[in-house]
Amino acid sequence: MNQDLTLNMKISCNNRLFIRLFISLLFMIVVSGCSIFTAHGRLEKEGRIAYGNNDFDSAVYKASQALALNSDYKPAQILIQDAFKAAVLSHEDELKRLRKSEEKFRWDEVASRYNSLVKLNQTIERLPVIRIKSGELIEFNILDYSSELDSSNKKAAEVHYEEGMLLSTSDDLATKKLSAKEFKLAGTYIPQFRDSDARYEEMRKAAILRMAVFIEDKSRQNKFGAINEVVMDNVVNSIFNDKDATEFLELVSRDQLEIILSEQAISQSGIVDEEMALEAGRLMSVHQIVAGKITQIIYSPPEVTMKNRKETKKVQIGKEKYTNEEGEEKVRKVYGTVEAQVRFFTRLTSARINCSYTIVDVETSKIMKSDTFEGYASSNAEWAKFEGDERALSYFTSQLVRRGSQQVPVAGEMVNRAAKKLSASLANSIKDYAR
């Protein structure tokens, strides 16, 4: 009896000790403001990391976000004061260096620095009233940089406008494009700067690269249809519907190509090799052609694989009567293990298309770019069957069983999916080249 009492006392003491420790820990968390769990605490921590990486602007923005949530949060109060001073000093030091520089386009960076300073000031001005524990307001030394920003924007616009004028005298297509971009940049600093909008549009039109896309099918897989035409149409549509891509690029449509090919009897089939493509390009007054070749189309028919697995689960299998220690008759659940043999099926199919292409200058026959691409598409279906007790099945297996036998897309659909992916890769490559 004494032993039992002693044991109970020990357990009770241990419980009380645990409770006291738990309460102490909880108190510490509350006192610290639960900063490790709060949004303002996390923001201050991110700002502190940015400060340590000398990214003072980001530190200011993170600290301001923290203070917007909790203006009394001391770590964020300290951080924003330190970060703002460091950010202003960093920008002003760089501006001193830039003022001494003779670099032509230095005003871009000057304008960017002043813009950053203006944004920092705006962030500070939007802060809630911040008081330290003594009740004093936190004050910031804010200088007005708006006139300096306006002045540097104007100088940057002037430099880019003059550069655009200088480049506009060239007959070279690439140089005309650079000229257009300079006029566009001038307008980003000062909207409608002089006649920069009209100059940009004039040079943009003069710099447009006319291009024709020819794709020849060398795979000898005619059973899938004219995949080369599918790729050509997809590439043209992708570029045509991309406003940024068509800024300096114009593609000849497949309809136009077929008219020229038919009129000149270059190809009766609509499929041309590189020499024929160059000749057609000259007739259509294009600058460059994309001469592509589909070298391989590989279709993998559906293949079914199967694996077996036994699943078990402990479930209620019945009830039984029993007599407890007080002599009362009771009923309790009886549990047992049930099992099921499961067969998992996977049906997989895929298609792969390989393509190579070159971009050739029509006038000089010079290869400007060459590359290879692959379009790959796959599809798989999963389902399951079982023998035994359904209660043994996991939720995932039950769902597979309910599906029943699943089918995958037919050959033509899979090849078209691969062609779509190939087209996207080819279109992106042409876009990057033309920018």
Q: What is the pLDDT of residues 315-374, one digit of tens each?
A: 998 999 988 888 899 899 999 999 999 999 999 999 999 999 999 888 888 889 999 999
Domain match, 315 and 407 both: yes
Q: Tell me: do 195 and 308 sit in the same domain.
A: no
The pLDDT value recorded for residue 31 is 44
Q: What is the pLDDT of residues 280-302, one digit of tens each?
A: 667 778 888 888 899 999 999 99
Which structure tokens are listed for 168?
Answer: 């506009």
**CA neighbor of 305 nearest in space, from 351, 350, 349:** 349
In-domain check, residue 115: yes
Examine the pLDDT at 393 and tell me if it is beyond 90: yes
Which of 187, 206, 225 is the C-terminal boundary of a domain?
206
Q: Is the pLDDT of residue 266 over 60?
A: no
Q: What is the CA radius of gyration of the chain?
A: 36
Query: What does the pLDDT look like over 193-220, one tens digit per residue?
Result: 999 999 999 999 999 999 988 888 888 8
Q: What is the pLDDT of residue 267?
A: 46
Q: Is residue 286 part of a domain?
A: yes
How far is it, in rounded angstroms, from Cα 265 to Cα 301? Answer: 39
Q: Are residues 308 and 427 in the same domain?
A: yes
In 190-253, alpha helices (H): 196-206, 227-240
* pLDDT number for residue 67: 92
At 222 the pLDDT is: 74
* Position 17 in a domain: no
Average pLDDT over residues 23-33: 50
Same domain as 429, residue 308: yes
Query: Among 206, 233, 252, where does a domain finish?
Result: 206
What span, in angstroms and rounded, lies between the C-alpha atoms of 84 and 138?
12
- The pTM assigned to this predicted structure is 0.71
Residue 1 lies in a domain: no
> What residue numbers bound the domain in which 182 lies?
152-206
Cβ neighbourhood burial of 164 (10 Å; 0-12, 13-18, 19+): buried
Confidence of residue 274 (pLDDT cuts 50, 70, 90): low
In this structure, are 425 and 308 located in the same domain? yes
Q: Per the structure, how many domains does the chain have?
A: 4
Answer with the one of 128, 144, 160 that is the final residue of a domain: 144
In a domain? residue 185:
yes
DSSP 8-state class, residue 268: S
Percent of the chain as helix, strand, coil, to the nearest 5: 55, 25, 25
Lowest-pLDDT choice from 109-123, 132-146, 182-196, 388-402: 132-146
Question: Residue with structure tokens 């880019």?
Answer: 160
My answer on whether 254 and 278 are in the same domain is yes
400 with 313, same domain: the answer is yes
Q: Judging by DSSP bridges, how do beta strands 367-388 and 329-361 pair with one another?
A: antiparallel
What is the pLDDT of the chain when averaged over all its residues?
Answer: 86
Nearest to 261 by CA among 290, 282, 241, 245: 282
Q: State whether 123 and 140 are in the same domain.
A: yes
- Cα(264)–Cα(282) distance, rounded to whole angstroms? 12
**By C-alpha distance, which of 256, 276, 294 is closest to 426?**
294
**Do both 430 and 316 map to the same domain?**
yes
Nearest C-alpha neighbor of 430 from the set 351, 358, 330: 358
Q: In 3-state terms, what secondary structure has residue 137? A: strand
Whether the per-residue pLDDT at 244 is higher than 70: the answer is yes
The answer to whether position 53 is within a domain reads: yes
Judging by DSSP bridges, how do beta strands 249-251 and 209-217 pair with one another? parallel
